[in-house]
Amino acid sequence: MRKADSNRYHLTTLYHFDAPIDAVWDAILHAEAWPSWWTGVERVVTLEHGDPSGLGARRRCTCKSVLPYRLTFVTRVTRLEPLRLLEGRVDGELEGVGCCRLKRNDGLTTVRYDWQVRTTQWWMNLIGPVAKPLFLWNHDAIMRAGGIGLARHLSARLGSRTAGAS
């Protein structure tokens, strides 16, 4: 029997960079370049550019982390507040909402990623009740790689990084 919420994930990752907020924002906003610095993000293809600020942009992302599977999903930017917030809807092998918030504090740029998603692949949903801890670990690994890669891309130091999931 499958637990009702075994395919739902509430994920938070927090990074602190000693880099200017505008440089961090620019790197996050230009998703097509992620594969050049984010290990695990294999491909990002722009499907629609959206308005001049990027609102409404649609991109197909393919990610692979430590476990031997890939996830492909399409993101649509639904909310954008320059240098503060980037929010989007995801559909495909993940469905839900992701939000990235930036803040400058004590000489550091803080980036907080929050995901509220569910998996849609039948095999992930089938084994989810027992494999959820592995899926959470895998997500943390790809997010860790993203923080390390972004720090390297910005020639910045990555401060403490924390992750949480349920």
Would you say residue 106 lies in a domain? yes
Which segments in the chain show pLDDT lower than 50? Answer: 1-2
Q: 3-class SS at 39?
A: coil
Would you say residue 2 lies in a domain? no
Domain that holds residue 160: 8-165
Total number of domains in the chain: 1
Specify the pLDDT at position 3: 56
Amino acid identity of residue 60, one-letter, is R
CB 61, CB 75: distance < 8 Å: yes
Would you say residue 30 lies in a domain? yes
Enumerate residues 6+ apart whose C-beta is below 8 A from 154.
Answer: 17, 19, 23, 24, 27
Structure tokens at 19: 């880099």
Would you say residue 75 lies in a domain? yes
- Residue 61 phi/psi, 5-degree rounding, is -115, 135
Query: Quick one: which of 67, 69, 71, 49 has its CA closest to 58?
Result: 49
Q: 3-class SS at 128?
A: helix
pTM summary value? 0.91
CATH assignment of the domain containing 87? 3.30.530.20
- Cross-strand bridge partners of residue 163: 13
Q: 3-class SS at 84?
A: coil
Enumerate residues 6+ apart whose C-beta is below 8 A from 129.
Answer: 2, 3, 6
Buried b (16+ CB within 10 A) or exposed e, 55-72: eebbbebbbbbeeeeebe
